[in-house]
Amino acid sequence: MSLSTATAHSSLYATNFEVYVNKADFKFNAAHFVAFQGFRERLHGHNYTVGVRLLGSRKICHDGYVLDFGDVKKVVKAVCKKLNERFLCPTKSDVIDTQIVDTENDGRKSVVLTCEDGSRFVIPLDDCAMIPIVHATVEELAIYTWGEILDGLDPELLRRRGIHTMEVVMAEAPGQEAVFRLEIPETKNGEKFRLDVPSFINSGEIELKPKPCFGQEGISETRNKAKLSDTGPGSRSVTPKNTAADGHANCEDCGLASFSKQLEALASALNNRGPLDDELTADDLRSLLEKE
């Protein structure tokens, strides 16, 4: 069963009651990296936290609850446990080739990730959470966990109790969170509902420019190299192959820009100390350094 993304932006219900559950143990620690065409983060990790909001109708149930907090806590803890101390592996990535292979000798399986930039990771399968998402971002994790939590709570039960919408808040750090809210689908006879995460991603062609300091270690050398050309005595310019919107393409370029500013500041300080036959410029200082 699938659901149009348009449903996420519409609701026919007026809400008087809602509950929000966000406990200290609604958390998991996991490693990941985000990768899309032309870009890959370094492997790193976060301490993720999860919150769940359930929106009900004008009246609560005969037991006085929108939904028992205990039911929510049990399900969310189970979802977090499956992700805790794992590498979050996006199985639908369009820039990461993912293969599950047998490990030599011990018969265990490993996940082999080959990235667009040529980087290769081999991680034991038991240490991975294989998630049907495209990018291991907090936004897509919020969509994925929404579906897992809904499955554990039972959408038919929620509907019978007058709960029509669920919201998941996924945070990767304090002040860095994504919120995913969607109307609970109508299912029958225990029908399983599965969210198709890629359907919530814009499929249009959007130009993504390389980010500043793109050329960190481990990124393809073709994106790190800059073309050096002489422009006159004692000077040279750097023309990056991939230049981001602010003029920087990789860490080398950022370093050159910073060094040039330091030379300009030094030249200004020397000129202010006393009269010179000729005013010093940053290019003069650069020429002296190159002669050395």
The answer to whether residue 192 scores a pLDDT higher than 70 is: yes
User: If you average pLDDT over residues 77-102, what whole number do you get?
Assistant: 96
Instruction: Return the ∠ at Cα 129 (arms to 40 and 142), rounded to 5°.
Output: 75
Residue 245 resides in a domain: no
The residue that leads in pLDDT, 117 or 225, is: 117
The answer to whether residue 99 scores a pLDDT higher than 50 is: yes
Residue 208 resides in a domain: no
Sorted by sequence, the CB contacts under 8 Å of residue 224 that are 6+ apart come out as 215, 250, 252
Q: In which band, very low, low, confident or very high, does the pLDDT at 83 lie, cut at 50, 70 and 90?
A: very high
**Backbone Cα Rg of the chain:** 27
Q: What is the pLDDT of residue 15?
A: 57
Residue 75 resides in a domain: yes
**Bridge partners of residue 238, in order along the sequence:** 228
Percent of the chain topping pLDDT 90: 50
The answer to whether residue 257 scores a pLDDT higher than 70 is: no
The residue that leads in pLDDT, 201 or 223, is: 201
| Number of domains the chain is built from | 1
Domain membership of residue 82 as a residue range: 17-92+128-203
Q: Could you identify the residue written with the tokens 């002040």?
A: 175
- Range among 3-17, 102-116, 187-201, 274-288 rated most confident: 102-116
The answer to whether residue 11 scores a pLDDT higher than 70 is: no
Residue 115 resides in a domain: no
The residue that leads in pLDDT, 291 or 172, is: 172
User: If you average pLDDT over residues 276-285, what whole number do you get?
Assistant: 74
The residue that leads in pLDDT, 268 or 257, is: 268
Is residue 134 within 8 A of residue 147, CB to CB? The reply is: no
Residue 56 resides in a domain: yes
Of 193, 166, 168, nearest to 56 by C-alpha is 166
Q: In which band, very low, low, confident or very high, does the pLDDT at 226 lie, cut at 50, 70 and 90?
A: very low
Q: What is the pLDDT of residue 28?
A: 97
- Range among 56-60, 119-123, 269-273 rated most confident: 119-123
Q: What are the CA-CA distances from residue 255 to residues 198, 249, 259, 264 (Å)? A: 38, 11, 6, 14
Q: What is the pLDDT of residue 194?
A: 81
Q: In which band, very low, low, confident or very high, does the pLDDT at 253 lie, cut at 50, 70 and 90?
A: very low
The answer to whether residue 115 scores a pLDDT higher than 80 is: yes
User: If you average pLDDT over residues 221-230, what whole number do you get?
Assistant: 34
Residue 61 sits in a domain of what CATH number? 3.30.479.10
Q: What is the pLDDT of residue 121?
A: 96
Pairing of strands 109-115, 96-102: antiparallel
Q: What is the pLDDT of residue 112?
A: 96
Compute the distance between CA of residue 83 and CA of residue 289 in angstroms, rounded to an integer.
54
Residue 227 resides in a domain: no
The overall average pLDDT reported for the chain is: 78
